[in-house]
Amino acid sequence: MKIAVLPGDGIGTEIVAEAVKVLKTLDLKFEMESALVGGAAYDAHGHPLPESTLKLAKEADAILFGAVGDWKYDKLDRPLRPEQAILGLRKNLGLFANFRPAICYEQLVGASSLKPELVAGLDILIIRELTGDIYFGQPRGRREAPDGEFKGAPEAFDTMRYTKPEIERIAHVAFQAARKRNKKVTSVDKANVLETFQFWKDTVIEVHAQYPDVALEHMYVDNAAMQLVKNPKAFDVVFTGNMFGDILSDEASMLTGSIGMLPSASLNSKNQGLYEPSHGSAPDIAGKGIANPLATILSAAMMLRFSLNQEEAAQRIEAAVQKVLAQGLRTGDIWSEGTTKVGTAQMGDAVVKALG
Ligand SMILES: NC(=O)C1=CN([C@@H]2O[C@H](COP(=O)(O)OP(=O)(O)OC[C@H]3O[C@@H](n4cnc5c(N)ncnc54)[C@H](O)[C@@H]3O)[C@@H](O)[C@H]2O)C=CC1
Ligand SMILES: CC(C)CC(=O)C(=O)O
Ligand SMILES: [Mg+2]
C-alpha cells in the first residue's frame, strides 16, 4: 500500500505532519511518499500541480492532502494559482464523491457557536458532488457584454452545468450512504431559479425510484443554509452539488465546534481516495503552530477506512481523538474556559499517546 503525502501550503504542512506522525504510530505496513503541491510546487517548479506530483497521486492507493493557497498567489494567472492543484487532482483522478461528516463530539458541545442543545449528538453527512458544476463548467472568462443594458461593458462569466450521468452516479452514492445510516436524504438545490438544479432534482427523483426504502426530501439551498443553524439535527444525509456543498460544509463545520474538526474523503469509482480537512491553508495563522490538526488526523482515519481497508485502525484513531478531547486538550479554535490550550504538535503528540 502506498500513500501519497501532499502537505501543500500554509497550515497544510503543519497539520499533515501531525497526521503522518499518527499514521506512523500504527502497526501497519504502508509506504508514504511526499511531494510538493500548490504554491510550494509553483515556487519550486513553476506549476501548482507538477507532472511528478500528479503521477505520484495517480499511482498511490490513497492521497493524504493538507491545503493549498496563499494570498500572495492571488495575482497569478488562474491556471498557475495554487487552488488549481486540488481542482486538478479531483478532476484528473475522477474524485467525484466528497464525504464530509459533521459530527459534534460530546466534549465539544460547548465549543460550537450554537446553543448546546442544538448540536449535542449531531451526526450529519454532507455528500458533495466534486468534479462538476460551476467550478469546472466551460466556457468561462472575461469579455465585452454581448447584450443587455450594459452591452459592450467588460464582464465576467462562468458556466453552471451537470450531465445526467454525473448526477446519477453521485445520487447513487448518496442513497447508498443513507442506507447505512438513517435512510433519509435531503437533496439541496436551487430548482426554483436554475435550470441546472431543476435537472438535478428531476434526475435525483428518477434515481430515488431504485431506493424506495430511503426517504427523500428536497430543499432550496437558501432554506438549507437557514435550517442548518435552526435545527441541524433534522438532517441526516445532506446531498448537493459542488458549489452549494462547498459553502454548506463550511457552515456545518461550526456545528461541530470548528472548521478545524471537519474531515473529508473524496472518492472515485475505484474507491481510490484523496483525504483532506475541509478547510483551507489558513494563511492568517500559518507558521504559528496553533492550527487544529484534528480534521486532518480524522481524514487519515477515513483514509484507513475507505481506501486501505483498515477499519479497526480507523476506529482506533477516532477513539484516540475523543480521548484527547476528554482529557481537556484544545487548540485555540475549540478552546473554552476550563480546558487546556495546546498547539498543533502538542495535539498530534497527545493523539499518538492516546493511541498507545
Ligand atoms: N482544499 C484546499 O486546499 C482549500 C484551499 N483554500 C485556500 O486557502 C486559503 C485561505 O482561505 P480562507 O477562505 O481563509 O479559508 P480557510 O479555511 O483557510 O480559513 C478560514 C478561517 O478558519 C480558520 N481555520 C482554518 N483551518 C483551521 C484549523 N485547522 N485550525 C484553526 N483554525 C482554522 C482560519 O484561521 C481562518 O480564520 C485561500 O488561498 C483558499 O483559496 C480554501 C479552502 C480549501
Ligand atoms: C479550492 C476550493 C475549491 C476548495 C474548497 O474550498 C473546498 O473544497 O472546500
Ligand atoms: Mg471550501
| 206 inside domain | no
Q: Which of 9, 71, 83 to mutate to test the pocket of ligand 2 (most atoms within 8 A of CB)?
A: 83
Write down the ipTM of this complex: 0.99
DSSP states of 50-105 as a string?
A: -HHHHHHHHHSSEEEEEE---GGGTTS-GGGSTHHHHHHHHHHTT--EEEEEEE--
Burial class (CB in 10 A: 0-12, 13-18, 19+), 57: buried
Q: Is the dihedral of CA 291, 261, 258, 251 positive or negative?
A: positive
The CATH number of whichever domain residue 68 belongs to comes to 3.40.718.10
Find out whether the beta carbon of 132 lies less than 6 Å from any atom of ligand 1.
Answer: no
Q: Within a domain: residue 185? A: no
Is 123 part of the annotated catalytic residue set? Answer: no
pLDDT at 171: 98
CA distance 274 to 264: 8
Could you tell me the distance, in angstroms and rounded to a whole number, from the CA of residue 117 to the centre of ligand 2? 30
Q: Assess if residue 300 is contained within a domain.
A: yes
Sign of CA dihedral 294, 298, 303, 309: positive
pLDDT score for 271 = 85
Q: What pLDDT was estimated at residue 347?
A: 98
Is residue 95 a part of any domain in this protein? yes
Q: 198 Cβ partners below 8 Å, 6+ apart?
A: 189, 191
The x, y and z cell numbers of residue 7, run together, are: 502537505
Does residue 123 form part of some domain? no
Q: What does the DSSP 8-state code read for residue 236?
A: S
Catalytic, 73? Answer no
Q: Which helix (H) or strand (E) holds 32?
A: strand 31-34
Residue 190 bears catalytic tag: yes
CA distance 201 to 205: 6
Alpha-carbon distance of 269 to 288, in angstroms, equals: 38
Q: Which atom in ligand 2 lies closest to the alpha carbon of residue 250?
A: 9
Residue tagged active-site, from 24, 164, 202, 222: 222
Q: Which residues of the chain have pLDDT under 50?
A: none
Q: Does residue 260 line the site of ligand 1, with CB under 6 A?
A: yes
For ligand 1, atom 44: residue with the closest CA: 280
Task: Give residue 86's domain range.
Answer: 1-103+259-356
The answer as to whether 160 is a domain residue is no
Q: Which residues pair with 184 in a beta bridge?
A: 215
Whether 135 is catalytic = yes
Taking alpha carbons only, the member of 71, 68, 131, 114 closest to residue 233 is 114
Number of structural domains (the chain) is 1
Whole-prediction pTM = 0.97
178 in a structural domain = no
- The pLDDT assigned to 356 comes to 86
Residue to mutate (ligand 1; options 65, 98, 250, 279; most atoms within 8 A of CB)? 279
Residue 144 lies in a domain: no
